[in-house]
Chain A
Amino acid sequence: MQQASTWQVYDQTLQSRLFIGTALYSSPQVMMDAIKASGSQVITLSLRRQTPTKSNSGDQFWQLIQSLNCHLLPNTAGCYSAKEAVKTARLARELFQTDWVKLEVLGDSYNLQPDPFALLEATKTLIAEGFKVFPYCTDDLVLCQKLADLGCEVLMPWGAPIGTGKGLINPYALETLRERLPEMTLLVDAGIGKPSDAVQAMELGYDGILLNTAVAEALEPSLMATAFSQAINAGRLAYEAGVMPERQQAKPSTPTLDQPIWQQNV
């Protein structure tokens, strides 16, 4: 199967355009099988207060993650202030030995919508400290421009609220971001439910997709991971190939010249 072009994410060149989460799987083995099937080179994970002892499987999750040999993208999930998010990012850097951080600063507990003001504040602090910030943001153009101005090379606007599987609820806004920020690496993060949602984003010119729930909550996560991998590749190939312009009036694809006489009076 032909692969879409490689792409640059901060200092890394990647082939896969799918970032995949490690949460919500029914077992560690199901998680491992799904991640491998996805072909993803970047996985998201998090950190919490937890005491690793023999009785609670200790370091098992970390051992599994290490065996995947993927780039790690720790998140600041659950933070509702810039201060909390910055603190979590610093701990994540120490724990995972990476400058990459998926910066989440939530503003509302119902739809888990990012707080744009706190997000900017935290981004400014973290970039000054040398972090490579992957902000989870809304699709607001001005917010995204300001994040770019602060030094983000990657932006991750939502397609829909986390875990809803609603797909791209505002394709116009996402398309506008792509047009107005042509040099920015853009991933749709959150809300993707079906492979066709991912294709839609990729055909808009998005560079990649970050998802978790859509794979983890599928009846067959490993199979769904494969479906997403192929869909994202197909969407990117379509974007690179150039989609035909839409038109209102029908246009025959079969030549009409030299039709037999009984067809010419239609």
Chain B
Amino acid sequence: MTSSKNMTINFNGTAIDIATEMNVAKLLQLNDVVDGRFVVVVNDEIVPKSEYDSAVITTGDEVEIMSPITGG
């Protein structure tokens, strides 16, 4: 794992800096994401829950958390 002080990712549409590469589980924890029904998408690819520990987020990545909302 490499570290950098200038790693920027896009997290749900907002650019944020992260201190180092990290796995999805750690990213969710740092952003106070609570357990529940959602899907994590990294660079347009769905990340299954079973891969939260192994999928690494690095600079330039686009991370989206898709959640249920109301709809007609």
Among B31, B44, B69, the residue within 8 A (CB) of A53 is B31
Q: Is the CB of A52 within 8 A of B33?
A: yes
Chain A proximity of B13: nearest CB distance (Å): 6
Q: A49-B66, A87-B44 are in contact. Are A75 and B71 (CB under 8 A)?
A: yes
Asked whether B65 is an interface residue with its Cβ less than 8 Å from the other chain, the reply is yes
A46 to B66, CA, bound (A): 10
Q: A44-B72, A45-B69 are in contact. Are A52 and B36 (CB under 8 A)?
A: yes
Instruction: List, in ascending order, chain B residues with CB within 8 A of A90's CB.
Output: 46
List the one stretch of A56-64, A165-173, A178-186, A238-246 in contact with chain B: A56-64
Asked whether B67 is an interface residue with its Cβ less than 8 Å from the other chain, the reply is yes
A222 to B21, CA, bound (A): 50
The main secondary structure of chain A at its interface with chain B is mixed
A92 to B30, CA, bound (A): 25
Instruction: List, in ascending order, chain B residues with CB within 8 A of A53's CB.
Output: 31-34
A169 to B46, CA, bound (A): 41
List the one stretch of A20-28, A122-130, A250-258 in contact with chain B: A20-28
A87 to B36, CA, bound (A): 22
Per-position binary interface string of chain B over residues 6-26, scored 1 when its CB falls under 8 Å from any chain A CB and 0 otherwise: 000001110000000000000
Q: Is the CB of A51 within 8 A of B33?
A: yes
Among A50, A77, A87, the residue within 8 A (CB) of B72 is A77
Per-position binary interface string of chain A over residues 136-166, scored 1 when its CB falls under 8 Å from any chain B CB and 0 otherwise: 0000000000000000000000000010000
Q: Is the CB of A46 within 8 A of B33?
A: no
Number of interchain pairs (Cβ within 8 Å): 101
In this complex, how many residues of chain B approach chain A with their Cβ under 8 Å: the count is 24
Q: Is the CB of A50 within 8 A of B39?
A: no
Instruction: List, in ascending order, chain A residues with CB within 8 A of B32's CB.
Output: 51, 53-55
Instruction: List, in ascending order, chain A residues with CB within 8 A of B11's CB.
Output: 51
Instruction: List, in ascending order, chain B residues with CB within 8 A of A61's CB.
Output: 68-70
Binding site for A on B (CB under 8 A): 11-13, 31-39, 41, 44, 46, 64-72
A47 to B39, CA, bound (A): 10
Instruction: List, in ascending order, chain A residues with CB within 8 A of B72's CB.
Output: 21-24, 44, 75, 77, 162, 211-213
Binding site for B on A (CB under 8 A): 21-25, 31, 44-55, 58-59, 61-62, 65, 74-75, 77, 87, 90-91, 94-96, 162, 211-213
A44 to B69, CA, bound (A): 10
Q: Is the CB of A52 within 8 A of B41?
A: no
Q: Is the CB of A91 within 8 A of B70?
A: no
Among B33, B35, B46, B71, the residue within 8 A (CB) of A22 is B71
Q: Is the CB of A49 within 8 A of B70?
A: no
Q: Which of chain B's residues has its CB closest to A62's CB?
A: B37
